[in-house]
A and B are shown apart, each in its own frame.
Chain A
Amino acid sequence: MTRATTVRGASEPIRRRTFLAATLAAAAAASAACGFGGSDDGGSADNNDDSGAGGSGDEPQRGGTLRQSMLPVTLLDPAVNANYSFGQIMMIGLWEGLVVADANDPIQVVPGVAESWDISGDGLIYTFHLRGEARWSNGDPVTANDFEWNWKRILTPGIAGESSPSYNRDRISVVGAADYMNGEIDDFSSVGAKAIDDATFELTLEKPDPDFLIYLSQFWALPLHPATVERLGDGWLDPENWVSNGAYVLDEFRVNLGAVLLPNDHYWDKDNYYIDRWEITFNDGGTTADLLSYQSGDLDITGRIEDDLEAVTTSDVADELMSSGTNQYRHLIALNSRHPALHDIKVRKALALAVDREALGGVGKPAIPGKSLVPGDVEGSDEVPGVEYDLEAAQNLLAEAGYPDGEGMPTITILDFQTSPWVEAIAEMWRKNLGLNVVLDIVELGVYSEKLNVPVHPEDYVGFMVTNNSVQPPTVVGAAYNNLQPIRTYGMNLSPPEAVDDILDELGADVDTAQIAAKLDGKRHPEVEQAVELAREALAQTDPEARTSLAIEAAIARDESYVSIPALWGGYFLLVKPRVQNLKPWFHTSVMSTKGVWIKQ
Chain B
Amino acid sequence: MLAYVARRLVRLVLSLIAVSIITFGLLQLVPGSFSDLAEVGSTALGDQTSGDGGGDSLASRYGDQVPAWEQYARFMTGLVQWDMGPTFKYPQSSVEELMGEAFLVSLSLAVPATLLTLLVAIPIGMVAAVKKDKLADYGSIFTLTTIQALPGYLFALVLVLVFSVGLGWLPVRGWAGPEYMVIPVVALAVQPTAMLARYVRSSMLEALRDEYVVAALAKGGSRRTVLVRHVLRNSLIPLVTVVGPIFAALATGTVFVEVLLGIPGLGRLFTLAARTRDMPLLMGTTLFFALILMVMNLIVDLVYGLLDPRIRHQQRTSSRWRRPRRAGLLPASQLVDSRTQGGRDDGGGGSETPSPDVSAADGTEVRR
Q: What residues make up the interface of A, taking CB atoms closer than 8 Å to B?
A: 24, 27-28, 31-32, 34, 36-39, 71-72, 74-77, 80-85, 88, 161-166, 168-171, 234, 237, 254-258, 281-286, 289, 292-293, 295-298, 306-307, 328, 417-418, 444-450, 452-453, 467-470, 472, 481, 485, 487, 514, 570, 572, 589
CB distance A293 to B98 under 8 Å?
no
Query: A85–B173 contact, CB under 8 A?
Result: no
Contact A31 B165 (CB under 8 A): yes
Docked Cα-Cα span, A258 to B174, in Å, equals 9
Chain A CB count within 10 A is highest, among B37, B161, B171, B174, for: B174
The docked-state distance in angstroms from the alpha carbon of A285 to that of B90 is: 17
Q: Which of A254, A470, A514 contacts B46 (CB 8 A)?
A: A470
User: A residues within 8 A CB of B101?
Assistant: 254-255
Residues 124-164 of B at the A interface (beta carbon under 8 Å): 157, 160-162, 164
Residues of A within 8 A of B40 (CB): 417, 445, 448-449, 452
Task: Give the residue name and chain of the B residue nearest to A82 (CB).
Answer: B58
Q: B73-95 toward A: CB 8 Å interface, digit per residue (1/0)?
A: 00000000000001001111100
Within 8 Å CB of B161, what residues of A?
A: 24, 27-28, 31
What are the residues of chain B within 8 A of A418 when measuring CB–CB?
44
Chain B nearest CB, measured from A376 CB (Å):
16
Q: Give complex CA distance A453, B31 in Å.
A: 11
Closest to B97 in A: A255
By a beta-carbon cutoff of 8 Å, the part of chain B in contact with chain A is: 30-33, 36-37, 39-58, 60-61, 86, 89-93, 98, 101-102, 157, 160-162, 164-168, 171-176, 259-262, 264, 268-269, 272, 275, 277
Q: How far is the CB of A297 from chain B (nearest CB, A)?
A: 8
Asked if A296 and B168 make an inter-chain contact with CB atoms under 8 angstroms apart, the answer reads: yes
Residue of B nearest to A77 (CB): B92
Nearest-neighbour CB distance to chain B for A435, whole angstroms, equals 31
- Given the interface pairs A589-B47, A589-B48, the reply to whether A81 lies near B260 with Cβ below 8 Å is no
Q: Given A255-B101, A256-B269, A307-B45, A75 and B157 touching (CB < 8 A)?
A: no
CB contact between B168 and one of A39, A470, A570 (< 8 Å): that residue: A39
> Which residue of B is nearest A169, CB measured?
B54
Contact A164 B57 (CB under 8 A): yes
* Cβ–Cβ contact A81 & B50, under 8 A: yes
Contacts of B268 in A (CB 8 A): 256, 284
How many angstroms between the C-alpha atoms of A295 and B164 in the bound complex? 11
A126 to B: closest C-beta gap in Å:
21
Residue of A nearest to B277 (CB): A446
Known A285-B260, A446-B32; judge A88-B173 contact (CB<8 A).
no
Q: B31 — which chain A residues lie within 8 A by C-beta?
A: 444, 446-447, 449-450
Q: A164-B56, A255-B101, A281-B262 are in contact. Are A468 and B277 (CB under 8 A)?
A: no
Interface centre among B46, B162, B264, B275 (most CB of A within 10 A): B46
How far, in Å, is A345 (CB) from chain B's closest CB? 25
How long is the Cα–Cα vector from A307 to B93 in the complex, in angstroms?
27
Q: A417-B44, A472-B48, A589-B49 are in contact. List 11 more A-B contacts (CB 8 A).
A: A88-B49, A164-B53, A165-B54, A168-B52, A256-B268, A285-B259, A296-B165, A446-B31, A449-B37, A467-B44, A572-B46
